[in-house]
Structure 1
């Protein structure tokens, strides 16, 4: 499941994703995307929303929807300065 997201997000510069992590503890599953976006950028929230929306699309794709439906999850988009921006 995660390689599809990693390849899709890190392979496109427009998303500014620089890293990926996940955690099952504490619940729900956290899918964490690290970006080069600064939390102080005026459009940081908008750019983070675009990243989050794209990950949601991956998770709802035919390839992943059967895997994901069994896990509650939360998408976390982090800024370059390690703050959650979504």
Structure 2
């Protein structure tokens, strides 16, 4: 089972704070060799207001750029409401 490491969480928080979700998620996927399912769980750990439809949007995204699934522009529009959460300690659940 996939678990989001502290390193992945830190990088994802930085990337997703800076630019469009499609660009940031693709960079995270390449850096950590993640496929869409695990990438969606990374996003769920970083965004504070993410729900199932947002996760499903990532699952249906054309991450590989092969013309199948949501385009980058579509994904960015679908995830435009998301906010990167504050850094929390996993052990204590606190900032």
* Same topology, TM > 0.5: no
* TM score, norm. by length of structure 1: 0.29
Between Structure 1 and Structure 2, the one with more strand by share is 1
Q: Which has the higher contact order (CA 8 A, sep 6+)?
A: 1
* TM score, norm. by length of structure 2: 0.27
